[in-house]
């Protein structure tokens, strides 16, 4: 499969290279994974079921397994193999790592 490329985003905003006055391209797998995890279902009209909606899981104790399953399923639907993990800190906050790679 070809490498995926997309326009460069800086702070979730389109970047225009001042040297050439054009939109530069870069490998975009990390950006695609981040976008899928942040997007809620319905955000993409072409793919209305795509998106984890991670903000919907804030202050939802006991839903960690459901969140990890959703991350795995949504990334698989976009062609990634994924084994997401969660790391807990002292104050009960956790960090989700997608551990995804393109099939």
| CA pseudo-torsion sign 55, 95, 74, 31 | positive
* Structural domain includes residue 56: yes
* Structural domain includes residue 7: no
**Structural domain total, the chain:** 1
DSSP bridge pairs for 100: 82
* Structural domain includes residue 8: no
* Structural domain includes residue 4: no
Query: CA-CA distance, 26 to 58, in Å (whole number)?
Result: 31
Give the pLDDT of residue 81: 93
User: What digits encode the pLDDT tens for the residues 27-86?
Assistant: 999 999 999 999 999 999 999 999 999 988 888 778 889 999 999 999 999 999 999 998
* Structural domain includes residue 55: yes
Do 50 and 44 meet the contact criterion of CB atoms below 8 Å apart?
A: yes
Q: Which domain holds residue 62?
A: 27-102
């Amino acid at each position: 499969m070809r490498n995926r490329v997309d326009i460069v985003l800086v702070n979730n905003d389109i970047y225009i290279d001042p040297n050439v006055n054009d939109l530069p391209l870069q490998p975009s797998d990390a950006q695609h994974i981040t976008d899928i995890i942040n997007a809620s279902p319905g955000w993409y009209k072409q793919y209305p079921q795509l998106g984890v909606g991670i903000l919907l899981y804030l202050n939802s104790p006991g839903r960690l397994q459901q969140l990890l399953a959703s991350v795995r399923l949504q990334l698989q639907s976009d062609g990634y193999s994924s084994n997401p993990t969660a790391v807990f800190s002292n104050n009960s906050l956790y960090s989700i790592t997608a551990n995804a790679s393109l099939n």
